[in-house]
Structure 1
């Protein structure tokens, strides 16, 4: 019996190295160590945990520690990740966000439930935009001054390209009207201390603002996230008719390039260093006093090298006004900004992402944003 089991385990391992099976079927993490013998897919340990919560649909086993039966191996052999993708992801809308292993739990869980439990993508939708053109519902929004989360009605409208929220469900006038093309939306469970926390960052009068919302139902908050992407995709298809889908997708909501604390000093030699929370979104480097602030205290536009932007390292001796001495200097055509990082690791990480951004040529749209920054200053 042990010899048969050894052979079965070896057979499973061979199957895990077949094309398509070397990465998790759901998030793409390399070298998955688990498999669902009812769906016929190979998954990572995190996605495996989500599959365990779908016992009527997916039954999982370890590739190395479990006992594998002959019929289970045959099922895996006749299915596999590529076959499952062709079946369960046949009609994923082009705007829909496919999470990776770097994404938060709610995105990964709802992606797996959408595929296998709700079988959401086995039939083709009629539109490439927001289904029905409008999404309306209640989300809990963080108050700008008191930090309390209160129920607010939100309305997303594809036709006029806006996201509105209202203080009361029966209110006739919205508290805010947000243009859909200026929105970035990112899940922030750690920062917001809520597993379904979503940060909506938008630009008004060329200044960044944040709205923090959540919904207790994971399916609902992910639905809002993808509805925003759908409305943006439709808007950009109309606004930029010559752009291809890949170009448009690169402008849809995505994770910030980097966030974290740095110290910053002002333009005068006498200005002191102050600790700030920094967020880099595309070419917009925003800084806040607190990570959950609604308004940025200031912003820096990061253009490209060919347009006179430079990033260099600086050694900043500790003084009465700065705690950290791992320095970074960002030079723009207008002025030079000096920042310091707490550790060598953070310093290297910020340097890497800054240099990557300025190495990329600017788009026509980014030239327009740069002009607005110059006009503002």
Structure 2
């Protein structure tokens, strides 16, 4: 018996060491140490917890701590992550968002359920609730002034190239019409205070506007998210016909590079530093009085190093400031220096790293146009 268990253990390690099984089958996290012995996939601890919620489909065990019998190991050997991907992800639409391990629980949960439980991507040409270019329904939207959430009717149309919302279900005219090419969508459960919280950001007159939404049904809000990506993808296909699908999918929704509180001072650098919530959305650094404000109080354009932008720790020479938080960052631009302070050294290092990632990237023609707008602002 001991010899048999030893052979089974060695066979398990051999399958586990295959290159295809080196990352989680669902979120891509390295070194997964759990597996589903009914699906034959190697997964991380966080994804294994989601699998536990669909026991009729997936049964999981720890690769390190649990006992595996010979039949289960043979099943893993015959399957594995590559076979599962070819089966359960065979027909994932090009625009559909594949969550990674740093994404919120909801996105990973719905991805796993869509693959294994609902089997949405197994058959070609399957009609999916986010794939027909038109989506309509009720979402809970945060009021701009009072902070309360109200049910609002939303309509997303590929034909019209826009997202609309109506203050009343029977209203004929929308409150706002948002052009699809200005939209970004990102899940913000912690900021919104709801596990299904979605933030819609769009540009109007080159200024950023935020809308905060949720739906009680997690699948429904993720369907809205992927519907926005689908409509935007088809818009970009028409606008940029020679671009590859990979280029276009990289231009769909994006997570913010960094968010959090910092203190800032004004352009004369003599005013007291004020605490603000900052969002770095690629080259736009926006600051708000409150994280859930609809409009930014101001925006700073962060260009590339080759165009005179840089980030430094500490104050510029000869500048003295009155601030509460001691960890100073200076953003150098061709026009002026922006001074910020962080509460901790860790915060400062994270912000510096985020700014550095932006300044190290060359600017696109579209970004030069945005930079010109910022320079023309009063």
Partner of 1:347: 348
2: CA distance, partners of 1:243 / 1:231: 16
2: CA distance, partners of 1:274 / 1:285: 16
Partner of 1:72: 72
Partner of 1:240: 240
The answer on 1:33 being equivalent to 2:43 is no
Secondary structure of 2:20 counterpart? coil
Partner of 1:324: 325
Show the 5 A alignment for 1:1-377.
1-125=1-125, 131-315=131-315, 321-377=322-378
- For the aligned residues, what is the CA RMSD? 2.0
Secondary structure of 1:20 counterpart? helix
Say how many residue pairs are matched.
377
Deviates more, 1:355-364 or 1:129-138: 129-138
1:78-105 Cα deviation digits (max 9, x unpaired): 0000000011111111111100110111
Cα 1:304–1:83 shift into 2, 3 Å: same
2: CA distance, partners of 1:220 / 1:144: 23
TM superposition shift of 1:365: 1.3
Deviates more, 1:122-131 or 1:152-161: 122-131
C-alpha contact 1:129 1:231 (8 A) present in aligned 2: no
TM superposition shift of 1:61: 1.1
Cα 1:128–1:159 shift into 2, 3 Å: farther
2: CA distance, partners of 1:169 / 1:324: 47
TM superposition shift of 1:309: 1.5
1:181-200 Cα deviation digits (max 9, x unpaired): 11111111111111110111
1: CA distance, partners of 2:215 / 2:50: 20
C-alpha contact 2:269 2:339 (8 A) present in aligned 1: no
C-alpha contact 1:311 1:351 (8 A) present in aligned 2: yes
C-alpha contact 1:128 1:230 (8 A) present in aligned 2: no
Can you give the 5+ residue segments of structure 2 that lack an aligned partner in the other structure?
A: none
TM superposition shift of 1:245: 1.9
C-alpha contact 2:136 2:154 (8 A) present in aligned 1: yes
